[in-house]
Structure 1
Amino acid sequence: MLTTIFKPFLIHHLRICKLSKCTLARWEPNLELLVPHRCTKWGLLYQKIQLVAGLLYTVGITLKISLGQDSVAEKSQGLVFLMALLVTILARWYWPIDGVLSEPCRMLNAFFKFENMLIRENRSRQPGARDRCMLAFMNLLETTVVLIPLIVVAIQLHNPCALPFLGSISPYCDKWVWNPPPWWVHVLMMSAEFWIWLHYVYEGSFYIIYAFMVAIVCMLDYLEYFEKMVQEMLKLGEDPTTEIHISKVLHSYRCLRLVEKTLNHALKGQLVPAMIGGVPQIQVFSMFVCIKLYSQIPMPGFLIFPLLLVDATVTNLVIETLAAKVNTNSTIILSDLNCGLSNSFRRKASIRKELASCTAVKIQFGQNFVGKGTPLVIENFCFNQTVSLLLMNGRSGG
């Protein structure tokens, strides 16, 4: 769970993010919670400049890709980076206020508090296969996050006019021909490019990894704990203490529902739209680049495209499947609980009312939620769009 398995990664990530001047919370070991990172007036201004600079950069390269005369292949290469930047910008976009935690950080604190109660009652739990797989995927994401700013610089050095970077929208790139500026101007452009990609990708990935992916895995861990409580209670049968155990189980589930409400409130603004809407586009365009442009993009710049393809595919197929299992598992557990108690406590109106008020937990986006068919719908969309791009590129002779 979050406090026992993923906390070391979270603390390490926060320490790295401190290099960009207090854009995130800090870990307080005495409280075992995330607390606001106190910033000066200039620190808050620096954070706001980061957000505005990333927004202006995104608008500029979006206009270049949409209005430029580049080929479909070149635009697809640029769109991979543009969609990756848009996803991290959406995940990162929390306007800084001194002394106030962002919604995802407050949600993580709710998880820490809830787990402290669980650990006191169940200290023997060991990491499962799902937790270990999530740790492995986190290491892959961390590798991608570190490589993206470096590969952006490598691509710029090889082809300064490559989409969607600053060189392509600068006056020094005329009809795809690079007219070298003074060396200090080129160094300044490269430094600005590296700075924007580094702080957006690394800090945006913090919310994506811990407030979305890890939170979903933790919800499944909590449901396993709740299922164990239900099974132990049903084994008691007509034991005189059964009613006490029922009250404890229902109280635990109500706490779990509060955690779920906190999670959905933190995700619904930016994170879930970014993951449901942006990550499939990354898979589409990175798959197209890997199939069609593998011979046109030199190493090491090409490495980022298969890496992003793997990350996006795992997110769309595996993470979304885990998000769907949150609703599926909770529905099954509540059904088992209802069937197990229907005979023994038929006359207990209070218990029937409490059971009726216990609805299944779910990961929401807008008015909908991630269901069993959502991952397959996303993958079907990705493959259809990739085939359409390949056909379009074949007709145009690109």
Structure 2
Amino acid sequence: MFNTTFLPHLVRHLKIASYFWSLPLLYDSRTGRIVSRKTRAFYFIYKSELMIHIVYTVFQYIFLLTSNYSVTQKFTGMVFTGLYTTALGLRFSWDHSTISAPVEMMNALITLEEDLMKEIVKYRPSIPDRIMNLLLPLILATAILLPFAFVLVQVQFPCAPPFLGSMLPYCRNGIGIPVWVRIFISGFEFVTFAHVALAASFYLGHALFPGIVCLWNYVNIIGKWRLEQSHRVIQAYRKLKIIELFINQSNQKRIFPSVFIGFPSLQFFTSYVCIRLHDIVEWPAFAMFPLVYVDAFILAVVIFTAAAKVYNNSGELLQNLKASPDFGRKSVLRRNIRAVTSIKIKFGVNFVDSETPLVIQDFCTRTTATFLLISQG
């Protein structure tokens, strides 16, 4: 449930992000709702940070494609560039529409639960709720610790691509980097990735996850109501279809496609580095790659499996309603049930069904295996 599971973690995340001005959102304790920031000074700084993120990511791609670094260094660099690219897709909010859509979705979930909880005597946290209570603190902790990890990599390997140091003439000409330049590079990487990590992890943990997990919970709650109360069930289901619109409006065009493309790409590059380059990449830098692979794999499996469960469970609920005694007796109920469809979590023009998680992991495995065979040949 959003109010009991996600909201406490969301408020904590927004408070930490406010110190870096990395999110255009605030929690209004008076109204109990999420609101957009209003000040021009904030939006100037926020858009400047976002523009730096865009330009830096583009330069990373250009540099990796045109530089004379080895294949090993380019593949390890693509892991970090992939992180920046996926994070850019998750956090990219430039105009009012892209900022307001997640806000409207979160507030819609809060409002729906205030009405839904009136009909529930006692709610017990579900398994997805318990999983999210464990996962959300880990997502925030990772967002806080990753910038420090990037700085440690920079200190030990100042010329490692695709970071800023590798683009400077010092590294390209084999000249030692002055101390003041290394301090500047470390500070730049820390501040930049702190903004990136806090913003991207927020949209992942508090825009994408709630939309899927809360719908899963709502469908399960309604599915346990007595089918003899079919009118009550169908009225509640109609509210879920409205929530579906808010969720897809928030996630369909930007957040979910970023996950759909970004996480499998990270799995591909990190698995190649772990299998093919484990004897070449030095420790402790190598330790980051299996960790990134495991994170991308777990998040992809959890997200797409949960979205598939929403589709399957909502379809089963409608089938049960059609099998209820009232369906054959009441023509109005038949029309109402036939007028609604299964709840679909969309990405782009497609939606997640029961086969999507397997298709994605099969694609990752086949692509990695094919590339390994080609590289050996």
Q: Give the TM-score normalised by structure 2.
A: 0.94
The reply on whether 1:194 has 2:199 as its aligned counterpart is no
> 1:306 corresponds to which residue?
290
Q: Quote the residue 2:85 is aligned against.
A: 86
* Identity value in percent: 32
Q: For residues 189 and 312 of structure 1, what CA distance do their matches in structure 2 show?
A: 27
Per the alignment, do residues 100 and 51 of structure 1 end up closer, same or farther by CA in structure 2, a change over 3 Å counting?
Answer: closer
Q: Which residue of 1 aligns with 2:367?
A: 385
Residue 240 of structure 1 corresponds to which residue in structure 2? none
* 2:299 is aligned with 1:315: yes
Q: Which residue of 2 aligns with 1:356?
A: 338
Q: Which residue of 2 aligns with 1:233?
A: 227
2:220 to 218, 224, 249: 224
One-letter code aligned to 2:63: K
Measure the CA separation in 2 of the matches of 1:340 and 1:354: 14
Matches within 5 A, 1:2-13: 2-13=2-13
Secondary structure in 1 matching 2:27: strand
Tell me how far apart the structure 1 counterparts of residues 358 and 151 of structure 2 sit (CA, whole Å): 36
- For residues 275 and 158 of structure 2, the distance between their equivalents in structure 1, rounded to whole angstroms, comes to 23
Q: Check if 1:212 corresponds to 2:194.
A: no
Given the alignment, which residue of 329, 348, 358 partners 1:376? 358
**CA separation of 1:203 and 1:71: change in aligned 2, threshold 3 A:** same
Q: Distance in 1 between matches of 2:106 and 2:25?
A: 11
How far 1:112 moved relative to its partner?
0.8
Deviations 1:322-354 (A, max 9, x none): 11111111001100011114xx45353221111
Deviation track 1:193-214 (CA, whole Å, cap 9, x = no partner) reads: 1111110111111001111123
Deviation digits for residues 118-154 of structure 1, max 9, x if unmatched? 1122141111222212222333333332232112111
Residue deviations 1:151-173 (CA, integer Å, cap 9, x gap): 21111111111111011111221
- Residue 241 of structure 1 corresponds to none
**Per-residue deviation, 1:96:** 5.3
Partner of 2:124, secondary structure, is coil
Q: Distance in 1 between matches of 2:361 and 2:67?
A: 29
One-letter identity of the residue aligned with 2:212: I
Larger deviation: 255-264 or 373-382? 373-382
CA contact (8 A) 2:2 2:214 kept: yes
- Measure the CA separation in 1 of the matches of 2:279 and 2:102: 41
Alpha carbons of structure 1 residues 196 and 182: separation in structure 2 relative to 1, 3 Å: same
- Confirm whether residue 260 of structure 1 aligns to residue 238 of structure 2: no
Contact 1:151-1:300 within 8 A present in 2 as well = no
Report the CA distance between 1:56 and its aligned residue: 0.4
Q: Which residue of 2 aligns with 1:33?
A: 33
CA distance in 2, matches of 1:142, 1:273: 22
TM-score, reference length from structure 1: 0.89
Aligned length: 377
Deviation at 1:295, TM superposition (A): 4.0
Matched, 1:21 2:21: yes
Partners in 2 of 1:391 and 1:71 — Cα distance?
Answer: 19
In structure 1, give the amino acid aligned to 2:20.
S
The letter of the residue matching 1:248 is R
Structure 2 counterparts to residues 42-121 of structure 1, below 5 A: 42-95=41-94, 97=96, 101-121=99-119
* Structure 1 pair 226–377 and aligned structure 2 pair: CA distance change class (3 A): same
Q: How much has 1:57 moved relative to structure 2?
A: 0.1
Displacement, 1:95?
A: 1.1
Q: Is 2:9–2:137's contact at 8 Å kept on the other side of the alignment?
A: no
Shift of residue 259 of structure 1? 0.1
Query: Whole-Å Cα distance in 2 between the matches of residues 11 and 345 of structure 1?
Result: 44
Distance 1:89 1:62 in 2: 14
Distance in 2 (CA, whole Å) between partners of 1:306 and 1:171 is 31
Aligned-residue CA RMSD in angstroms?
A: 2.0
How far apart, in 2, do the equivalents of 1:322 and 1:33 lie?
26
Give the distance between the partners of 1:143 and 1:111, measured in 2 at CA: 25
Cα deviation per residue 1:233-252 (whole Å; 9 max; x = unaligned)?
A: 33xxxxxxxxxx43322211
Given that residues 11 and 27 in structure 1 are in contact (C-alpha distance below 8 angstroms), is that contact kept between their aligned partners in structure 2?
Answer: yes
- Gaps of at least 5 residues in structure 2 are none
The residue that corresponds to 2:312 in the other structure is: 328
Which residue does 1:285 correspond to in 2? 269
User: Against the structure 1 CA distance between its residues 269 and 393, is the aligned structure 2 distance closer, same or farther, given a 3 Å change threshold?
Assistant: same
Name the amino acid aligned to 2:316. I
Q: Which runs of 5+ in 1 are unaligned?
A: 235-244
Q: How far does the alpha carbon of each residue in 1:236-272 deviate from its partner, in whole angstroms, 9 at most, with x for none? A: xxxxxxxxx4332221111100000110111112111
CA distance in 1, matches of 2:250, 2:121: 28
